[in-house]
Amino acid sequence: MIIYKDDDHTYRNEYDELYTSVTTLIKQYTPKINWYEKAEAYVKKRTNAEIIKDLADKWSLTEKEIIAKFGTEYTADHIMYVWKEAGLRAVTGGSNWHDWKEIQDSRQANTILIPMYDGVKKFNAEDIKPNTIYLEAILRHHPSKTAGQADKIIIKETSSIVRDYKSVNKELIPEVKAYYNRKLRRNVAATFNRPIKHVKHSSYWEYAIQLSLYGYMLELLGYPPEALIIDQVLTEWIPVSEVTNQFVIHTDDTINKARVVTELKEIELPYLKKEVIDLLKFNTK
User: Nearest-5° angle of CA 108, CA 111, CA 115?
Assistant: 120
Residue 184: its pLDDT value, please? 65
Residue 181: its pLDDT value, please? 73
Residue 62: its pLDDT value, please? 93
Average pLDDT over the chain, rounded to an integer: 92
Whole-structure pTM value: 0.90
Q: Are 108 and 133 in contact (CB under 8 A)?
A: yes
Residue 177: its pLDDT value, please? 83
Residue 190: its pLDDT value, please? 86
Residue 160: its pLDDT value, please? 97
CA 122/CA 28 separation, integer angstroms: 26
- The list of the chain residues with pLDDT below 70 reads 180, 184, 285
User: So where are the chain's domains?
Assistant: 2-30+106-283
